[in-house]
Amino acid sequence: MKKNIYITDLDHTFLQSDLSISDYTKKIWNSYAKHSIMGVATARTYLKTMQFLEGVTMNAPMILLDGALVVGADKQIIDTKFISQDMGNMIIDEGSKLGIYPFVIALEDEKTLQETFLYSSVLNKYQQEVLTRYAKDDNLVERDDIEAMEQNFKIVYMGEEELLEELHEKLALIFGDALKFILAPEAYVGCHFLTILHKDADKRHGIESIAKHLGLKFENLTVFGDNFNDIGMFELAATAVAVANAQEGVKERADIVLEYSNDADGVAKYLAGLDATE
């Protein structure tokens, strides 16, 4: 059995800020895939992750949508954690009272892993900018009166920190620990985001699902990250590595803080300093 396991976050960790992956990083990462288990844990959807990882070898199931979906080879679903339609609509209703509406990412077809990305016709400037990055995707659906679907991976608000904190407090009072909330800076468009997930949808649970599926041991696990949704897998791994551009609170939880950022191939340079055949 392959000995070492390496799982990386995508945005601002493995991806450069322009959403590319350098040839150097591909070369180093792919060389490790010959001897080790290599995987990804990301907030991104299946569609976007596959687009970004072209030319990159991933031989472990993928942890997607902050752990709400774990997918193996040939689109085999290993685990899902959904927000119910009723809960989703209650969340949307609370946001509407503050004049804000979310993105809703849901599963439309299990066989094809077809995702639906719902958005309201009422958008703030941050949401408008984000949507320009998805303009070529075919899963975008606009709704004048947005509602949750049957199987919702996550609900995401974007905006000013103070407003999202107010919504967070309201939702926490209603749902308690029945849901998971992530409030953090959004580096691409300069705002904050509030991600709402099933209580067990996180990267830690995603790694636990993979470990059970493949029979892996955590003492062989190294993870890479930059943001607060990576903390769970930091706590689980034998070695937690933060890139130089990581949030300060994330660096404090890391075993190793790299001197290189995502734009300077931090993950690959760390791996290059190890023996890939260990």
Domains of the chain: 5-80+201-272 (3.40.50.1000), 85-198 (3.30.1240.10)
Amino acid in position 71: V
> Residue 184: helix, strand or coil by DSSP?
strand
Helix crossing, 85-97 with 161-175: angle to 10°?
140
What pLDDT does residue 52 have?
Answer: 95
- In the DSSP assignment, the letter for residue 78 is E
Cα 33 to Cα 4, 165, 186, 241: the distances in Å are 10, 41, 31, 19
Q: Which amino acid is at 4?
A: N
- Write down the pLDDT at residue 214: 86
Q: Any bridge partners for residue 7, and if so which? A: 39, 223
Could you tell me the CA-to-CA distances from 9 to 15, 39, 144 in Å, in that order?
Answer: 9, 9, 34
Please identify every stretch of the chain with a pLDDT value under 70, giving residue numbers as ranges.
1-2, 275-278
**CB-based contact 240:256 (threshold 8 Å):** yes
Type and span of the H or E element at 40: strand 37-40
Q: What contacts 116, CB < 8 A, 6 or more positions away?
A: 104, 105, 106, 107, 108, 139, 141, 149
Which residues contact residue 103 at a Cβ distance below 8 angstroms, ignoring those fewer than 6 apart?
Answer: 117, 118, 119, 127, 130, 155, 156, 157, 158
Q: Calculate the CA 95 to chain-centre distance.
A: 22
Q: What are phi and psi of 196, to 5 degrees?
A: -120, 130
- 154: Cβ contacts below 8 Å, ≥ 6 apart: 65, 66, 68, 83, 104, 105, 195, 196, 197, 201
Of 186, 160, 163, 177, give the one whose Cα is nearest residue 43: 186
SS3 51: helix
Which value, to the nearest 10 degrees, does the dihedral of the CA atoms of residues 228, 43, 208, 266 take?
Answer: -70
Q: Which residues contact 23 (CB under 8 A, 6 or more apart)?
A: none
Q: What is the pLDDT of residue 15?
A: 97
3-state helix, strand and coil shares in percent for the chain, rounded to the nearest 5: 40, 25, 35
- pLDDT value at residue 275: 63
Residue 268, amino acid: A
